[in-house]
A = this chain, B = another copy of it.
Amino acid sequence: MSSHEQAQPTPEQEQFTLLMRGLGTRTVVYQQNVAASLGLYNNDFLSVDILREKGPITAGELSKLTGLATGSVTALIDRLEKNRYVRRQNDPNDRRKVIIVPLYENKEDVIDTYLPLHTAMVTLAASYTDEELALISQFLGKASTVLDEQIDHLSSTTRSKSSS
């Protein structure tokens, strides 16, 4: 094959992309089910998930990460604050900003809901050797990076769209 140009995907590579899409579809459905199970709206739960990974961020950053309008994020934070998933905190360095701090106390219902998946995933992981699991984990990190790049790309191109 050529040096860095991928001429044509092999059947194995195409199969791989199909599996990734299938996993993606299932992931979305699963996350929506988790949200419903917790009594949260989809974007509310998505925000909880983002905050879990990123830690405290400002309302504006959450707006960018979720793609929601700032007005929608204000209402979203109100709901999460009422349910004690997060609390607002003023930024002493910039008093315009509102930092959303995730609260994990009293939130074992999230853990409970995730527990069956977590258990199943650990079982799946245990079926691989250390080397295999390391390869898979390394792959997952790279796939996440790819998605981050694609999200960046898509959200920037979507902003500049004309009507059909």
Contact = CB atoms under 8 A, between A and B. Distances in A.
Interface string A82-97: 0000000000000000
A16 interface: yes
Chain A, interface size category, equals 35 or more
A134 interface: yes
A32 B155 CA distance: 10
Contacts of A155: 33
A142 B120 CA distance: 11
Interface of A: 6, 9, 12-17, 19-34, 36-37, 39, 42, 46, 49-50, 53, 65-67, 113, 116-126, 128, 130, 132-137, 139-144, 146-151, 153-155, 157-158, 161, 164
